[in-house]
Amino acid sequence: MRCHLLIDADDTLWENNIYFEQAIHTFISFLNHSRLSRGQVRVVLDDVERFMGYGSANFTKSLIETYRRLAEKEPCDEDIEQVRRFGEGIGSHPLQLLDRVTETLEYLSPRHDLILLTKGDLEEQKVKVERSGIERFFRQVVIVQEKDVSTYCRVVSDLRLNPKQTWMVGNSPRSDVNPALSAGIKAVHIPHPHTWHLEHEEVQNAGEGRLLTLSTFADLRTYF
């Protein structure tokens, strides 16, 4: 049966969060707080990130704001510029597709209706898609600010998808799996070892046949 496969991008098709984690590690070492543990600094950064939003530009703003809040000396222009470089350095990493993504999309695209569904900054995500070289496998690219139940309902309606034949494929329980199931479509969960921890959430109980959990993206070929 031909299915509609809504496929996530960051940490499903290509590496993403590892670069943010590297920048955070460097930032916390640079801050070198005398009283707060690394974990406590991370809690403050998490709170700032929730407010700032997604994408590397907002992440850079989050690092700077966190530094201003926690620095144990008056922040100088030189220090702020260094923190800015930690965030801006994320964009210098080459885009790295996950293992066997291209060959799996080559297999799936003639058999199913593939739609790339990613969230984040519009221009930043567009650039990633262009750099990836895999846009040709997708009928459409949809970039949204948030993936919640209303987003999935809107996408299904706008693209005239049959919910019974529609699957969301992604690594994030919070954005890819649970809201998709709540919206009445199916989900494929492909955990990534470095999924952003703010995307972690217990996967909800789904009815029989509505949820698949796979080890790798390439495993999609077994089921689709």
Domain ranges of the chain: 4-15+95-223, 17-92
Q: What amino acid occupies position 95? A: L
CB atoms within 10 A of CB 80: 15
Q: Residue 181 pLDDT > 90, yes or no?
A: yes
Q: How confident is the model over 7-26, as a mean pLDDT?
A: 96
CATH architecture of 4-15+95-223: 3-Layer(aba) Sandwich (3.40)
Average pLDDT of the chain is 95
Q: How confident is the model over 87-111, as a mean pLDDT?
A: 95
Which one, of 208, 190, 199, lies nearest residue 7 by Cα? 190
Give me the pLDDT at residue 51, please: 85
Q: Residue 92 pLDDT > 90, yes or no?
A: no
* Lowest mean pLDDT segment, chosen from 38-42, 134-138, 182-186, 194-198: 194-198
CA distance readout (Å), 24 to 39, 56, 62, 86: 11, 12, 11, 8
pTM across the whole model: 0.92
By the 8 A CB rule, do 114 and 108 touch? yes
Which one, of 143, 144, 139, lies nearest residue 114 by Cα? 139
CB atoms within 10 A of CB 35: 7
Q: Residue 199 pLDDT > 90, yes or no?
A: no
Confidence of residue 91 (pLDDT cuts 50, 70, 90): confident
- What backbone phi and psi angles, to 5 degrees, belong to 89? -65, -20
CATH architecture of 17-92: Orthogonal Bundle (1.10)
Q: How confident is the model over 74-87, as a mean pLDDT?
A: 95
Give tens-digit pLDDT for 143-175. Answer: 999 999 999 999 999 999 999 999 999 999 999
